[in-house]
Amino acid sequence: MSIRPAFARVLPATLLAVLVLAGCAAVGPGADPDSPGPGLAGPAQPGPEPLVPSGEATFIGEVDLDPKPAASLDGRGNLSLVTYGSSSCPPVVAGVEATSADTIAIALDASAEGPCTADIAPTTHTVPLPAGLTERPTTVQIKYVNEPWEYTIPVS
């Protein structure tokens, strides 16, 4: 059994590494420095023009940043009310009363104190119809407690 010197074991690996790296180098002394080299794509091409030039705003459609509540009757003596607000602090029903034979007043209040996410998410509330409500179609008046928001929604 012969013992080969250490350089005899390392030499083939070193030569292979030199050959691989030499293949990645630019070709010849007159090679174009902007050339990507053999086997690679050409220089980067500019991308498409931006859709909106810098500093200008273009709106394709309107975005409703204040979606209105919606309501419907479920036929089982309940009103379904969809409101919009922070998903981490959705409004809660603070009170329900019949103000006339065809009108319901619903008070909504904040559900939490402190920081809330700045998003707009729907929340569905199921509210039993008050006893004094006897006529259809119905009108729902929504008032947010401690807020200036009021909505009147016709419901059939």
For the stretch 73-125, pLDDT in tens is 988 889 999 999 888 989 999 999 999 999 999 999 988 777 888 888 999 99
Encoding tokens for residue 76?
């089982």
Coil, helix or strand at residue 13: helix
Spatial separation of the C-alpha atoms in residues 74 and 52, rounded to whole Å: 47
Question: By C-alpha distance, which of 111, 77, 76 is closest to 92?
Answer: 111
Amino acid 67: pLDDT: 84
For residue 32, pLDDT over 70 is answered with no
Of 18-22, 144-148, 150-154, which range is least confident?
Answer: 18-22
Amino acid 65: pLDDT: 66
Q: Is the pLDDT higher at 100 or at 49?
A: 100
Encoding tokens for residue 36?
């990507």
Spatial separation of the C-alpha atoms in residues 137 and 154, rounded to whole Å: 7
In whole numbers, what is the pLDDT of the chain averaged over residues?
78
For residue 53, pLDDT over 90 is answered with no
Encoding tokens for residue 7?
């350089």
Between the CA of residue 149 and those of 71, 79, 112, 137, 141, what are the distances in Å? 16, 20, 18, 23, 11
Q: Is the pLDDT higher at 110 or at 61?
A: 110
